[in-house]
Structure 1
Amino acid sequence: MRDPGGRGSGPGRGGGASGPPGGRRPRSAPPRREPPRRDPGRDPGGRDSGRDPRGDSARPEPPRRQPPADPPRREGPGASRRDPAGSSRGGSPRDGSRTAAPRGGSRGGGQGGGGQGGGRRTPPPGKAPKPPKPPRPPKRRPVLRLGSSHRRINAGMLAMAFVLSLFAGRLVQLQGLDSKVYADRAERQRNTEAVVPARRGTISDAGGNVLAMTADARTIFVDPTMVSADKRQAVAALLSRALNIPPGPILEKLGRTESQYQVVARNVEPGVASALISRKIRGVGSEPTYRRVYPDGKLAADLIGYVGQDGTGLGGIEAAWNSTLRGQDGRQSVEQGQKGHRIPMTRSSQQAAVPGTEVRLTVDRDIQWEAQRAISEQVAKTQARSGTVIVMDVRTGHVLALANAPGLDLEHWEKAPAESLSNRALAEVFEPGSTNKVITAAAAMETAGVRPETTFVVPDRYKCADRVLRDSHPHPVQHLTFAGVLATSSNVGTLQAAERVGKQGLYDFMRKFGFGRKTGLGFPGEAAGLLPKPETWSGSQVCTVAFGQGVSVTAMQMASVYQTIANRGVRVEPQLVAGTVDGRKRFTPAPAAERHRVISERTAREIARMLEGVTDSSEGTGAAARIPGYRIAGKTGTAQRYDSDRGGYHGYTASFAGFTPADDPRLVTLVVLQDPKKGYYGGDVAAPVFRDVTSFALKTRKIPPTGTAAPPLRIHAAR
């Protein structure tokens, strides 16, 4: 019988009663095999044959490993059959590890001495043997054992619960905490809000004739991401032929694959766009828009102004009245699918656009046409740099024509030079020259008691400070009336009259006539001119200002001066806009222009009579401005022109300003030519344009002659 540790129950631990009953092996891992060793004290069957021949003094045998399996052993003669494992080895067949060797010799004779060899010294006689030490516990090899299935199930359930909790938390966030945020985002993706552009209002002349209007158009665009590289050349060539534009820019835009929207052409006729889209070219599309149309071409172009690609006014009346013309854009909201197609039978909302309001000008289309024709021809004839014509209604201040040459092509305004984008009549300043002498005359008559018959002794030169100023042509000393000074445009006579006024007086009257400030038109880019303070005038400038050198004005400012004189001394601010017309064709007039008196009516009438001498006198400088049957009052101007590009004076400014009929003024006209090369006197190059434009305007406005004759005007005084 064995104890739980697998040891024999006999006193020598090596008795024959070792191993389990019946010789069966216990269920355990098979022990490691090693070759059997022969023991000198054993027979081939493994039984003890007696004491170890080496005696009690022999050393104990070193521990041996348990063989992994029992090799067949031959039974010795007379030996009893044993368990194949051999109980004499003291090892348990369960244990695959090494078994400790006995420390003592044989106890009790031959029953246990041969099992493991008597390697321990026999205790001396009379002394009790020491109890054997318990064997060391065998070292067990690590064995891979399958865990409990309950543990695996529990671990899997915990992992699944953790993952499901993450999904549940995300679901709570989406459906609970952030539900409104994602719902709004989905709503925005599904619902698309588009701007419905308002139709821009028209611009018309005083008679309601359309000068600028809005028409339907299309914008052609491409999506480069939808056009493969091998088809770009063919698509560019096709678009080039259909739209009449070079293929190079189209090909460049097709190569911008980082973008999904590239505009190829704007303001395309709807018919052309429809024909192009019907070909179903992949990646090519169109969208509706509006374009500005000008029925009369370049007529009043620099007055009308131009608009940008987004329909915003950028110049002229288009910019000044942009808020009135543009209207109010509408909004349209529709539901669309993933590819941008509208989902049928879904809700949509629309806020209708409000069209712009029509702006009606004071300009007469026919007079404007004649003014443009006349000034364009004269600019070409005299090889001038530019020219301007202004026609105004004396009583109302309405501008009936405002023409510049060269003109502006509104269809291609982006290609125009910078100076053509502004209106020269309002933005370009120049020294007025002799046309400014009417202000000196008004100041002398209002403040110094000078009258038309006042006599002046006039040489052909005059020393002023450090300069010698001359008349336009050499002449002996003359005795001229003040009317004669104005009729012959004498610089020296004008200086003599200005001396009686003083520089402060001259400055004050020029301010009253509107110099140094804008006219009140509200036109974009309008200049105020240049009128220095009198304390800054140089010694010679005190004299030159009197005949229009040393100050700068615009053409509109100069026209306003003659309107004031023609209107019996009352200045009416110029007006370009007569009013507006709403969608029901109801006309709303613009507020009346401001009026204020500048000079007395007597002075205005006397100046008007003196100005008649400029055109009807044999010695006057404006004979070329005469219109048969009409009394014409006017003044020529020839001034040295300051050239900012050259930083000094170069060339001349030729001008003529006048009104008719002189005894009952209705129209005032100003003509200015900048730097003419073939002739430069105002009476030679500007007066003929005045005659042509004014005579046409008189017929258009059906203004008859007064039928009166001009009273005689004395030019020379008695000596």
Structure 2
Amino acid sequence: MIFTVFAAQLLRVQGLDAASVSQQAFSERANRVTIPAMRGEVVDADGITLARSVERRNITADPLAASTWVKRDRQPDGSVKKTKMGLKGAAEAIAAIVGADPAALSSSLQRAETQNRRFLYLVKDVSPQQWTQVSDLRIPGIFSERTVKREYPQGTSVAPLIGWVGADGSPGGGIEAMQNRRLNGKPGTHVYERAADGTVIATADNSDTPAVDGKPVQLTINNDLQWTAQNLIAAQVKSTKSLSGEAVVTDVKGNIVAAASYPSFDNNQIASAKGSLLSRPFADAYEPGSTSKVITMAAALEEGKVTPQSVFTVPYQLERADQKFKDSHPHPTEKYTTAGILADSSNTGTIQVGEKLSPQVLRGYMNKFGLGVPTGVRFPGESSGYVPPVDKLKGPTRYTVMFGQGVSGNSMQQVSVFQTIANGGVREPLKLVKGVGDGSGGYTAAQDDRVAVQVVSPKVAGEVSRMLQSVVGEGGTAPKAAVPGYNVAGKTGTAERYDEKTRRYAGYTASFIGFAPAEKPQYIVSVTLQRPQAVSIYGGEIAAPVFSQLMQAALRHGHVPPSSSKPTLYDLKYVPPKSEKQ
């Protein structure tokens, strides 16, 4: 009986406890390292890289092990010369490869050794090639951790749109935040055994749980047009001493081809970035001014209240709601047509057209055209703008919203208004993401449950388009927006600018939005300058020339043929019949 108990105890110690002891020993030797996942690339519509992840290495050190380094050099006669290098020699050898200060590395190693520390980060963010050279030195206790660094090859031209990734791997705005679920991968784990002297046990049971990389995302953006837009708006902001500027290009189906804003920042150096890091075309809502007259005119035409040739007596000054409204420039009382009111950008004329609509109806059209509602792009930091509720559309506000004051929207919303007119009265949802990686090197079209909306009839859209072509003509407010060889439709905007910080109006917003070719639109371009302080405050003077240059670039990019004939324009002023002339 005693022998049986002894045998059973011996079996437990040798068998069962052996496994437990072995597991404990493994746990003491095991090291677990996170294998970072590669974040998906962001590319433009043609596959040009806008954001990518690259492998980097952090060099770590076990000073106690590194202090034993003996350099072995094979001599010509075949013998091996041994030289004790120690921590100082290790620091000098590593510094020579990575471009670090050898004295600083040596100090870090010696301080850690004094404190009996077995781990420290010696050098961070070195290339895999540099690590290979360091590894070839075979210094005991010198290892590396694989890490991932985000790079942005296009820099400032697209930074507010793309956003950035912080040092902790979290996205910071733009596409990086908007598409984080798709771009972000799942880290893996590397488990390995290390001996007491810090060296990896090559024959041990090392195992990996592989990382799963993120999916690439393709945008509708064209990198070349984005670069052009960024440079044009940056130059004009500087020339006019504006607070900021924005330039947007979309195609007629609502694909965002360029979305530039200035000032910008370098998302490769996010720690030193200053000012707003948001994409202004989405984030900055402003009172558009006269570009919003397009909504008033289209609504009145659609409701059958006016025709393009309806005649109005248009004074320089008009009193409504106990307030005097004026046009931008003094002029004698004129007999303008509806088309002439739009071409001359008359506030007093627009009021006479707009007051034919009830506040409820006009507000409904503002919403249908996209003002006061999100674009649906779901871009981080996007502003929905503001359209007063119906019960607030009384007194002076009843009239100011007709010419774009007292109502606000971002540049994307303003572009959407003109895209609707250019597209036969159909407002297409604005689109920024073209596709998501399918795992086979291609892209699957982005899922989108938004639908196009018929805002006005094709007939009315055509009438408004024809009216807008006069704006760029000789009698209009923006001849500088003309594009050689193409018929252009567009509208200037010069609005008093509301300053959120001071809670009062200060300065102006100057803009121009238009499309071309007017007879078969392909691209819509918007240019906006906030608080210009030099050259001019008028959109026709400072925004229109940038529009012309950017539209030319877009048309070249799209290989769009020139217009084959000049447009037939509406009369801008009342022309009495022959019987009246006699």
Equivalent residue pairs, number: 543
Give, in angstroms, the shift of residue 193 of structure 1. Answer: 3.0
User: Residue 599 of structure 1 corresponds to which residue in structure 2?
Assistant: 456
Check the 8 A contact 1:448/1:500 in 2, yes or no. no
Matched, 1:363 2:221: yes
Give, in angstroms, the shift of residue 698 of structure 1. Answer: 0.5
TM-superposition CA deviations, 1:324-360 (whole Å, max 9, x none): 1222322222233345533232222222222222211
Check the 8 A contact 2:141/2:197 in 1, yes or no. no
SS in 2 for 1:429: coil
SS in 1 for 2:305: coil
Give, in angstroms, the shift of residue 278 of structure 1. Answer: 6.8
User: Residue 246 of structure 2 corresponds to which residue in structure 1?
Assistant: 388
User: Residue 5 of structure 2 corresponds to which residue in structure 1?
Assistant: none
Amino acid at match of 2:561: P
- 2:321 paired residue among 465, 468, 475: 465
Greater CA deviation, 467-476 or 293-302? 293-302
Matched, 1:589 2:445: yes
Q: Evaluate the alpha carbon distance shift between residue 341 and residue 504 of structure 1 in structure 2; reply closer, same or farther with a 3 A threshold.
A: same
Higher RCO by CA contacts (8 Å cutoff, separation 6 or greater): 2
SS in 2 for 1:543: helix
1:479-490 map, 5 Å:
479-490=335-346
Q: Evaluate the alpha carbon distance shift between residue 704 and residue 251 of structure 1 in structure 2; reply closer, same or farther with a 3 A threshold.
A: farther
User: Residue 195 of structure 1 corresponds to which residue in structure 2?
Assistant: 34
- 1:612 paired residue among 455, 469, 474: 469
TM-score scaled by length of structure 2:
0.84
Check the 8 A contact 1:250/1:264 in 2, yes or no. no
Rounded to whole Å, the distance in 2 between the matches of 1:658 and 1:437 is 13
User: Residue 561 of structure 1 corresponds to which residue in structure 2?
Assistant: 417
Q: Evaluate the alpha carbon distance shift between residue 642 and residue 254 of structure 1 in structure 2; reply closer, same or farther with a 3 A threshold.
A: farther
Amino acid at match of 1:601: P
Give, in angstroms, the shift of residue 268 of structure 1. Answer: 2.9
Rounded to whole Å, the distance in 1 between the matches of 2:435 and 2:261 is 24
Rounded to whole Å, the distance in 1 between the matches of 2:214 and 2:541 is 46
Check the 8 A contact 2:384/2:410 in 1, yes or no. yes
Q: Evaluate the alpha carbon distance shift between residue 464 and residue 198 of structure 1 in structure 2; reply closer, same or farther with a 3 A threshold.
A: same
Amino acid at match of 1:334: Y
User: Residue 427 of structure 1 corresponds to which residue in structure 2?
Assistant: 283
Structure 1, unmatched stretches of 5+, are 1-170
Matched, 1:289 2:128: no
- 1:455 paired residue among 294, 300, 311: 311
TM-superposition CA deviations, 1:591-643 (whole Å, max 9, x none): 36521111111111101010001002x22011101011101000000011112
Give, in angstroms, the shift of residue 300 of structure 1. Answer: 1.8
Check the 8 A contact 1:312/1:326 in 2, yes or no. no
Query: Percent identity among equivalent residues?
Result: 40
Matched, 1:621 2:469: no
The higher radius of gyration belongs to 1
User: Residue 695 of structure 1 corresponds to which residue in structure 2?
Assistant: 552
- 2:159 paired residue among 301, 305, 311: 301
Rounded to whole Å, the distance in 2 between the matches of 1:250 and 1:529 is 58
Give, in angstroms, the shift of residue 669 of structure 1. Answer: 0.5
SS in 2 for 1:708: coil
User: Residue 316 of structure 1 corresponds to which residue in structure 2?
Assistant: 174
Q: Evaluate the alpha carbon distance shift between residue 190 and residue 253 of structure 1 in structure 2; reply closer, same or farther with a 3 A threshold.
A: closer
Give, in angstroms, the shift of residue 244 of structure 1. Answer: 6.6
1:570-719 map, 5 Å:
570-591=426-447, 594-616=451-473, 618-678=474-534, 679-718=536-575
Amino acid at match of 1:207: D
Rounded to whole Å, the distance in 1 between the matches of 2:106 and 2:318 is 68
- 2:401 paired residue among 541, 545, 550: 545
Rounded to whole Å, the distance in 1 between the matches of 2:404 and 2:156 is 33
Give, in angstroms, the shift of residue 213 of structure 1. Answer: 1.7
User: Residue 379 of structure 1 corresponds to which residue in structure 2?
Assistant: 237
Amino acid at match of 1:512: K
Check the 8 A contact 2:140/2:199 in 1, yes or no. no
Check the 8 A contact 2:317/2:325 in 1, yes or no. yes
Check the 8 A contact 1:197/1:289 in 2, yes or no. yes
Matched, 1:204 2:43: yes
User: Residue 83 of structure 2 corresponds to which residue in structure 1?
Assistant: none
Rounded to whole Å, the distance in 2 between the matches of 1:370 and 1:245 is 41
- 1:218 paired residue among 37, 40, 57: 57
Q: Evaluate the alpha carbon distance shift between residue 259 and residue 435 of structure 1 in structure 2; reply closer, same or farther with a 3 A threshold.
A: farther
Rounded to whole Å, the distance in 2 between the matches of 1:573 and 1:657 is 18
Matched, 1:407 2:246: no
Give, in angstroms, the shift of residue 582 of structure 1. Answer: 3.5
Q: Evaluate the alpha carbon distance shift between residue 265 and residue 439 of structure 1 in structure 2; reply closer, same or farther with a 3 A threshold.
A: farther
Check the 8 A contact 2:52/2:150 in 1, yes or no. yes
Q: Evaluate the alpha carbon distance shift between residue 715 and residue 214 of structure 1 in structure 2; reply closer, same or farther with a 3 A threshold.
A: same
Rounded to whole Å, the distance in 2 between the matches of 1:514 and 1:217 is 45
Check the 8 A contact 1:240/1:247 in 2, yes or no. no
By percentage of residues, which structure has more strand? 2
TM-superposition CA deviations, 1:104-163 (whole Å, max 9, x none): xxxxxxxxxxxxxxxxxxxxxxxxxxxxxxxxxxxxxxxxxxxxxxxxxxxxxxxxxxxx
Give, in angstroms, the shift of residue 194 of structure 1. Answer: 2.4
Give, in angstroms, the shift of residue 248 of structure 1. Answer: 9.6
Check the 8 A contact 1:570/1:598 in 2, yes or no. yes
SS in 1 for 2:231: helix
User: Residue 76 of structure 1 corresponds to which residue in structure 2?
Assistant: none
Matched, 1:510 2:366: yes
Rounded to whole Å, the distance in 1 between the matches of 2:212 and 2:549 is 44
Structure 2, unmatched stretches of 5+, are 1-9, 68-86, 577-582
